[in-house]
Amino acid sequence: MTFDPITLAQPSIVSLTPYQPGKPLRELEREYGIEDAVKLASNENPLGPSPAAVQAIKAAVTELNRYPEGNAPDLKMALAQHHGVTMDQLVLGNGSNEILELLVRVFAGQGRSVVFSRYAFAVYPLVSLAVGATLIEVPDQRWGHDLEAMRAAITDDTRLVFIANPNNPTGTWSKADELRRFMRSLPTHVIAVVDQAYIEYVQEEEYPDCIDWLQAFPQLVLTRTFSKIYGLAGLRLGYSLSSAQLADLLNRARQPFNTNYLAQIAAVAALGDDEFVVRSVELNQREGRRVCAALTERGISYIPSVANFVSFQVEQAAVICEKLLQQGVIVRPMAGYKMPEYLRLTYGLSTENSRFLRALDQALL
Ligand SMILES: Cc1ncc(COP(=O)(O)O)c(C=O)c1O
C-alpha cells in the first residue's frame, strides 16, 4: 500500500478550495517584468500604515525576543475605552479571519448549519466547511443581504448567521432598522455575526455601528479589523465584541499567543491616530466618487458601494483583468464569487486610480 495523505485527511478539508487572495505586487512584477505595478485588489489602505503605528513598531522591535502578552491587556484596554465596552467583551485574532474561524470551531461543526448570503465574503463558507458544518446559502436581494429570507432559512440545527455589513465584494449594507428587526426575531439557539471590517469607511446615517446593541442582544458578535482603514493588513490583527460569556468561549479555543507583539503595539497606536482615519475616509470618498463617475461616463455599470472598493461589470472580465495585469494594474476577478462578469477595484491614490482608468480604456479598445 502506498502512502496517500488525502485518504487520511478529514473529508471536510479534502473538499476545500483554498481562498484566492489578490495577486501580490511582487508576483506580478516578477511574472510580467513590470517595475511600477499598482495593486488595487485587496481592499488595503493606499495611504500605507497609520504613521503612529509605524513609529510605535520602530520603538518596539528590540523586544522581539519576548513572547507577547497572550491576553494583550494594553490593546484590550485601549479598545475597551475606544468602544465603551469592558475588556472581557473582547477577543483578539490573527486578523478578523481568525475570529471567524474561532466562531465556527466553537459553535458550528458536523450536524450544525451556518447561514450566509449569496455573494457574501468567501471566508464564511470556507471556514464553515472546514469544520464540517452544513452551508445554507440564501439568495441575495439586489446583491445585498435579504435579512428576512436569512431569518426564514434558519433551521433547528443552525448555530451561526454571518452578516457582512458592509459586504465584500458587493459593498452593499444593511440599515439599522432592518438589522434590529432581524436581531429581535432571532431564535435563542443562533448567534448573529455582524462583520464590520469596513465600518470606518461607511458614511451613511442609517448605518448601525451596533456596539450599544450588545447589551440588548447577547446573541450578537461584531467583528472588526486593523487590516483596512488602519492600514495594518500585513500585521494581522482583528477582534470581536460580544457578551463576556461568549468572548470567554472564543478565548478558550484560541492559541495562547495568537496575536503578535508588533501587531498589538501598532494597533494601540493606530487606534489613537484619528487624523489618519479622517484622511483615509476623505480620500476614499473623493476617489470613490471620481472613479464611479468615470465608470458611468464609460457606460460601465457597477454595484453602489459604501466601502473602499467597487465591483463593476465588463464583458469578458477575465480577459480585461489579464489586460490590466499586463499594464501593471492588479484588480480582483470575481469569478470565484460566481460573478464572472465582474471585477472588483479597491480605490487607490488619485494617481493609481487614474492609471487604472487609463489601463481600462486600453483594455476595452
Ligand atoms: C468582509 C471581510 N471580513 C473580514 C475580512 C478579513 O480581514 P482580516 O483577516 O485581515 O481582518 C475581510 C478581508 O478582506 C473582509 O473583506
The domain that holds 200 is classified in CATH as: 3.40.640.10
Q: Tally the C-alpha atoms within 13 A of residue 131's C-alpha that lie toward its C-beta.
A: 23
Average of pLDDT values for 349-362? 98
Mutation test residue for ligand 1: of 40, 119, 228, the one with most atoms within 8 Å of CB? 228
Cell of 26: 511582487
Give the pLDDT score at 276.
Answer: 98
181 and 311 both lie in a single domain: no
209 and 68 both lie in a single domain: yes
Q: Is 200 in the pocket of ligand 1 (CB under 6 A)?
A: no
Give the pLDDT score at 128.
Answer: 98
Would you say the C-alpha torsion 312, 313, 314, 319 has a positive or negative sign?
Answer: positive
Name the one residue in this structure whose C-alpha cell is 451561526.
Answer: 160
60 and 43 both lie in a single domain: no
Q: Is 164 in the pocket of ligand 1 (CB under 6 A)?
A: yes
208 and 220 both lie in a single domain: yes
Q: Which domain holds residue 325?
A: 5-48+275-364
Q: Is the pLDDT of residue 20 over 90?
A: no
Q: Is 225 in the pocket of ligand 1 (CB under 6 A)?
A: yes
227 Cα nearest atom in ligand 1: 10
Query: In angstroms, rounded to a whole number, what is the distance separating the alpha carbons of residues 152 and 235?
Result: 39
167 Cα nearest atom in ligand 1: 1
Q: Is 233 in the pocket of ligand 1 (CB under 6 A)?
A: yes
Average of pLDDT values for 39-64? 96
16 and 97 both lie in a single domain: no
* Cα of 103 from ligand 1 centre, angstroms: 14
pLDDT in tens, 235-262: 999 999 999 999 999 999 999 999 999 9
Neighbouring C-beta atoms of residue 1, cutoff 10 Å: 4
* Cα of 235 from ligand 1 centre, angstroms: 13
135 and 219 both lie in a single domain: yes
Q: Is the pLDDT of residue 18 over 90?
A: no
Q: What percent of the chain shows pLDDT beyond 70?
A: 100
pLDDT in tens, 292-337: 999 999 999 999 999 999 999 999 999 999 999 999 999 999 999 9
- The pLDDT confidence band at residue 217, using thresholds 50, 70 and 90, is very high
N-term to C-term CA, the chain: 57
pLDDT in tens, 60-101: 999 999 999 989 999 999 999 999 999 999 999 999 999 999
Q: What percent of the chain shows pLDDT beyond 90?
A: 93
94 Cα nearest atom in ligand 1: 9
Name the one residue in this structure whose C-alpha cell is 480585461.
Answer: 320
151 and 236 both lie in a single domain: yes
Q: Is 227 in the pocket of ligand 1 (CB under 6 A)?
A: yes
78 and 192 both lie in a single domain: yes
Helix (H/G/I), strand (E/B), else coil: 253: helix
pLDDT in tens, 199-216: 999 999 999 999 999 999
289 and 263 both lie in a single domain: no
134 and 253 both lie in a single domain: yes
Q: Is the pLDDT of residue 228 over 90?
A: yes
Give the pLDDT score at 1.
Answer: 82
Q: Which residue's CA is the closest to the ligand 1 atom numbered 3?
A: 197
Any residues with CB less than 8 A from the CB of 358 and at least 6 apart, and which?
none
* Cα of 2 from ligand 1 centre, angstroms: 40
Using CB atoms within 10 Å of the CB of residue 359, give its burial: 0 to 12 exposed, 13 to 18 middle, 19+ buried.
Answer: buried
pLDDT in tens, 104-158: 999 999 999 999 999 999 999 999 999 999 999 999 999 999 999 999 999 999 9
